[in-house]
Amino acid sequence: MNNYKQLNNHIIICGYGRNGKQAANNLFEHGKQVVIIEKDRNLIPKFQDKNLQYVIGDATQDDILIEANIKEAKALITSFPEDADNLYVVLTARQINSSLIIVSRASNISSNSKLKKAGANFVVMPDLIGGQHMAKLVAQPDIVEFLDKILLQSKDDVNLEEVSCSNIRNEFINKTIGELKIRNASGANIIGMKTETGNFIFNPSHEVKLSKNDKIFVLGTNHQVIKLIDFLSVKKNV
């Protein structure tokens, strides 16, 4: 059943080529709501077999993005092989939804700045990343394999998650990580954080304090991460 019009806080993927398919599969595996925009009608049976939400049409057209409920979406990934197509999607998407997180593929280095000026939050060059990854496999093979195993695990296994502190309990604000004893409470480990000033802290010490504008990067099983979020968050009245 194609129920994308009722979705909100979902992720739109423009293009179901190699990169778009990988992104969709990974997000779907992690329980994210995904809507795919694709022109090729021959792919409809594949979408239906995998129970994927989809819109058949040209993602560079305003009405197609609106049909995918872009106004209520959390993020958009545009993965077309042509940078011009990605640029047009980014421009259009940013005009429709100013708070949208936009990730764009790029084939040429020169397109990076153009896509960011158009409104992309992140620009990914698959060929460049692939080359860097191969070099790292030669220089630091065990570290790369270890990180790959973390990042490619399913959500039921060990996972690396980003957790916002925006809903942190008032009594926890300005408390140190050591005082909160997060590892003891959840079993998960805080391996990094992004502060309200935009700075990144790797392996934060027990003396680091948390605020509502921080984000923490947590390593743990799905159960441990859920337990950590429940421990930190304000309890909702039922």
Position 78 scores a pLDDT of 97
Please give the C-alpha separations between residue 215 and each of 59, 142, 165, 180, in angstroms, as whole numbers. Answer: 32, 28, 6, 16
Q: What is the mean pLDDT of residues 138-161?
A: 73
Each residue's pLDDT tens digit, 17-69 = 999 998 998 888 778 899 999 999 999 898 888 888 999 999 999 999 999 99
Position 129 scores a pLDDT of 76
Q: How far apart are CA 194 and CA 189, in angstroms?
A: 15
Assess contact for 65 and 102: CB atoms under 8 A. Answer: no
Q: Quick one: which of 8, 153, 143 has its CA closest to 71?
A: 8
pLDDT band at 2 (very low <50, low <70, confident <90, very high): low
Each residue's pLDDT tens digit, 76-127 = 999 999 999 999 999 999 999 999 999 999 998 889 999 999 999 999 998 7
Taking residue 222's Cβ as centre, other Cβ atoms within 10 Å add up to 17
Ordered by where they begin, the domains of the chain are 4-129 (3.40.50.720), 159-232 (3.30.70.1450)
Each residue's pLDDT tens digit, 173-190 = 888 999 988 889 898 899
Residue 214: HSE in the Cβ half-sphere, 13 Å Cα cutoff: 23
Taking residue 135's Cβ as centre, other Cβ atoms within 10 Å add up to 11
Position 238 scores a pLDDT of 33
Report which of residues 165 and 147 the model is more confident about.
Answer: 165
Q: How far apart are CA 184 and CA 159, in angstroms?
A: 18
Each residue's pLDDT tens digit, 195-227 = 988 899 999 999 999 889 999 999 888 888 889
